[in-house]
Amino acid sequence: MAKYLNIILCLFLLSCTQEQAKQTVQTPEAIQSLPALHIQPATYVLGDIKEGEAAIATFIIRNNNPEAIELVDIQASCGCTVAEPDSYIIGAGGFTQLKVAVDTTAKQDGIKKSVFITDSLGNKATATLTFNVVSNPHLKMGSVKGIFDGQCASCHFEPLKAAIEPSKLYEVGCAMCHGEGAVGAYAPDLRHHDTQTLKTIIAQGVGKPQMPGFAVKHGGPLSEQQIHDLANWIASLP
């Protein structure tokens, strides 16, 4: 039933558009120039993507043919690209979405990937995705000693030295792992520890490369005073 309603609606819309076409400024050439199999946008510009994260874009595939089509071939230019339409069948004048995802592992700089689409009437169209892969320091996690080492230090060590306010210190040094307000994220919730336990753990760490000792004497960036204030601040959180 829904199908018939659809067809009736389509016919109705079609007659309306034909009516309007006579009145609107669109020239016959402009109408004819629409590709039978139309990808919108033809090129999707995604900007910067961190290496290892998927580049994802959704295209619209329009069927400007007077009859329904089936997408019979969808080929990506590289095995790293997956392209999946919501539907392989597109009614006359209808459209479907095409989701394209590119794996950026081990890629660098400017990347252009294309997906080649062919319909059952032999029409062809290309959906292109461009993006820039920027380096992702977190990919090398396995090969480093810890968050204070090498290039990791520029974000996980240096900014902590200058942070005096405990809330600010937490923000630049802990929130990225323990979450805003210490409620837990990648690393555990910190709100159930007393001040003394917090001081000890912050100073000495837990023996993991992600959570080394933050005290200067354990190779970290924080003074006794900073740790004292930070522990008190965390213990006071609701």
Contact residues for ligand HEC (CB under 6 A)?
137-138, 140-141, 144, 147, 151-152, 154-156, 173-174, 176-178, 186-188, 190, 193, 198, 201-202, 206, 208, 210-211, 214, 230
Please give the Cα distance from 21 to 46 (Å, whole number).
35
Q: Which is nearer to ligand HEC, 124 or 138 (by Cβ)? A: 138
Please give the Cα distance from 172 to 136 (Å, whole number).
19
Q: For 195, phi and psi rounded to 5 degrees?
A: -55, -45
Q: Which is nearer to ligand HEC, 68 or 187 (by Cβ)? A: 187
Q: For 116, phi and psi rounded to 5 degrees?
A: -105, 125
Q: Which is nearer to ligand HEC, 31 or 206 (by Cβ)? A: 206
Task: Supply 180's token pair.
Answer: 């805003």
Pairing of the two strands 95-102 and 81-85: antiparallel
**Residue 100 CB, nearest approach to ligand HEC (Å):** 24
Please give the Cα distance from 194 to 209 (Å, whole number).
24
**Residue 73 CB, nearest approach to ligand HEC (Å):** 38
**Residue 47 CB, nearest approach to ligand HEC (Å):** 17
**Residue 146 CB, nearest approach to ligand HEC (Å):** 7
**Residue 193 CB, nearest approach to ligand HEC (Å):** 6
Please give the Cα distance from 161 to 166 (Å, whole number).
12
Please give the Cα distance from 149 to 209 (Å, whole number).
10
Q: Which is nearer to ligand HEC, 43 or 195 (by Cβ)? A: 195
**Residue 109 CB, nearest approach to ligand HEC (Å):** 18
- Peptide linkage before 41 cis (omega within 30 of 0): yes
Q: Which is nearer to ligand HEC, 98 or 221 (by Cβ)? A: 221
Q: Which is nearer to ligand HEC, 28 or 47 (by Cβ)? A: 47
* Amino acid occupying residue 47: G
**Beta bridge partners of residue 70, listed in sequence order:** 89
**Residue 103 CB, nearest approach to ligand HEC (Å):** 18
The H or E element that residue 109 is part of is strand 109-119
Q: For 159, phi and psi rounded to 5 degrees?
A: -65, -20
